Amino acid sequence: MIHKIKALYDNGRGSSIRSIAKELGISRNTVRKYLRMDEAAIARQQEEKSRHKILDDYQDYIIHLLQTYPRLSAVKVLRKLEEKVGDLEISERSVRRYLKSLKETMGVKQRRYYEPVLDMIPGVQCQVDLGEIRGIQIGGEDRTVYFVVFVLSYSRLMYVAASPSPIDTDQFIQIHDRAFRYFGGCPEECVYDQTRLVVLKETFRELELNQRFHQYATGAGFKIRACRGYDPESKGKVEAGVKYVKNNGLYGEAFSDWPELEDYLGSWLERANARTHGTTGKVPRDVYEKEERGVMSSYFTPFFVSEAISKGPTRRKVDKTGLLSWHSNKYSVPMRYQQGTVGVEQKGDRLFITDLVTGSQIAEHALCHGKGQIIKNNNHYRDHEKRICDLESNVKGHLGDELGTRICCILKATSPQIYKDQLLGLVKVLSMYDDIDLEVMEGLSKRSRLTATMIRDYIEASIVCSEKKPVTRHSPSDTVNRDLARYARLTPSNGGSHVVH
């Protein structure tokens, strides 16, 4: 730019100052300034501009402060900076000049509010991301493992928590609680992508946050920063951490059960934090203990989180079929808890269901990792099956074991969905009469389909025909009953096609 100005002016023989300013898109004062300077002065200025400034090491953090608090004074910027890194040999005037220069260029250099990479300042930023890996052998089956990775930007200290099922908001909050207790403190901000566990919607970079998670963040004392959608580069440290957990941590491993996986992951995490980091060339645990732990904000579990942890099982309503919903699947409980409320607690890959009054365990299921499945323990429906067995025994008591069994099998094949109701109806019909024509029942047992009402009509027809007992209910005509009784004794090859209603 300076060379162009000098060349266009050509010692007064070329363009005017106004023309040069217009052509180069700069002010006339700038043109005059450089025309007045000789080559030696210009060289000295360029050398001075290229000198490294103390505050350059902390530029990202200063930009972060100015974007968060645009009216922050130089005095306060210096104070906040010294709180993080200790005393700096720099005057307030120098800080003021640096801020002025930075503000003139910040709009170009820093286009997104979440871009500051706060490597140089301990205790400020933690990057958080979720991941999953499929095909992990657990108990001889291929399973999907869901996990959350936390990486402190300064020390690169990492925390990892895993789950056998997709992570919901309550789990996400409790994992944060465990992570901050593992770190021994809380950072000033956490950076996320636009997962619905944190951000529900973005409009013109205005974020609608998940209110429950926002409540937790406010109580814990850290700020939420969300990246633009589909922009993983703005949290590259944790993206690398997710790959590291997948490829170095879990890939190629096999476990007998979920507790073994959790034990392994805990040991692996300690080794990962004790290794020499590939980017920084330092050991994350050592850097954290020496330089970052002391400046982390104190962390206390918010009351509503500790209450949720301490209150034990989650309450769930059981529907009329003896099933309760848990993470998009349904699980059975004993039938006496139909339409009642029970306690549900997930531990590893098992689901435990308890009686809320006595606290005793009433059911246990292996956790299903799909969606829309029904996981049923047939023993929970034993009372239902016992009722059916009792009714079948009653039928056999009236008709004999062999004939009663055949009749029950046809009823079940005809109406499997209402088999119990059909048995109830048949028992009621058989109990109405002292003397049942077994020849009629034998004929009916040869048919391909039967219902309780059909059996009732044939029995009543046979009684009217033989005139053994009057029928107390409103009956068809005697002619029809005689036809039914005669027809019931027949055994055609395809009885189902000759049913008379």
> Could you report the average pLDDT of every consecutive run of 10 residues in the chain (501 residues)?
83 85 86 82 64 77 80 82 81 85 61 48 90 90 92 93 88 92 93 88 78 92 79 64 89 86 92 89 93 91 72 80 88 87 84 79 86 84 71 90 92 88 90 84 90 90 70 47 52 43 39
Tell me which amino acid residue 430 is: L
Q: Are residues 287 and 181 in the same domain?
A: yes
Q: Using CA atoms, how far apart are residues 486 and 458, in angstroms rounded to an integer?
A: 9
pLDDT at 204 (0 to 100): 65
Number of domains within the chain? 4
pLDDT at 223 (0 to 100): 92
Q: Are residues 288 and 168 in the same domain?
A: yes
Q: Are residues 340 and 392 in the same domain?
A: no
Q: Are residues 323 and 298 in the same domain?
A: no
The secondary structure of 375-425 as a DSSP string is E--GGGGHHHHHHHHHHHHHHHHHH-HHHHHHHHHHHHHH-GGGHHHHHHH
| 117 found inside a domain | no
| 114 found inside a domain | no
Q: Which residues contact 27 (CB under 8 A, 6 or more apart)?
A: 21
170 in helix, strand or coil? Answer: helix
Task: Give the domain CATH number at 281.
Answer: 3.30.420.10
Among the candidates 287, 306, 325, a domain finishes at 306
Q: Count of residues for the chain?
A: 501
Among the candidates 84, 109, 134, a domain finishes at 109
What are the tokens at 91?
Answer: 């005057």
Q: Are residues 361 and 390 in the same domain?
A: no
Q: For the whole prediction, is pTM greater than 0.85?
A: no
- State the CB neighbour count (10 A cutoff) for residue 72: 15
Q: Are residues 262 and 146 in the same domain?
A: yes
Q: Are residues 333 and 286 in the same domain?
A: no
| 458 found inside a domain | yes
Q: Cite the beta strand spans of 43-104 per DSSP E.
A: none
Among the candidates 334, 361, 376, a domain finishes at 376
Q: Are residues 131 and 232 in the same domain?
A: yes
Mutual angle of helices 419-431 and 382-399, in 10-degree steps? 30
Cβ atoms of 165 and 99 within 8 Å: the answer is no
pLDDT at 187 (0 to 100): 93
| 118 found inside a domain | no
| 479 found inside a domain | yes
% helix, strand, coil for the chain, step of 5: 50, 15, 30
Q: Residue 313 phi/psi, 5° resolution?
A: -60, 150
pLDDT at 131 (0 to 100): 93
| 372 found inside a domain | yes
Task: Write out the residue range of the structural domain in which residue 229 sits.
Answer: 125-306
| 81 found inside a domain | yes
Q: Are residues 224 and 249 in the same domain?
A: yes
Q: Are residues 32 and 71 in the same domain?
A: yes
Q: 305: which strand partners?
A: none
Q: Are residues 358 and 246 in the same domain?
A: no
pLDDT at 296 (0 to 100): 92
| 435 found inside a domain | yes
Q: Are residues 323 and 301 in the same domain?
A: no
Q: Tell the burial category of 444 from Cβ atoms under 10 Å away from its Cβ (0-12, 13-18, 19+).
A: buried
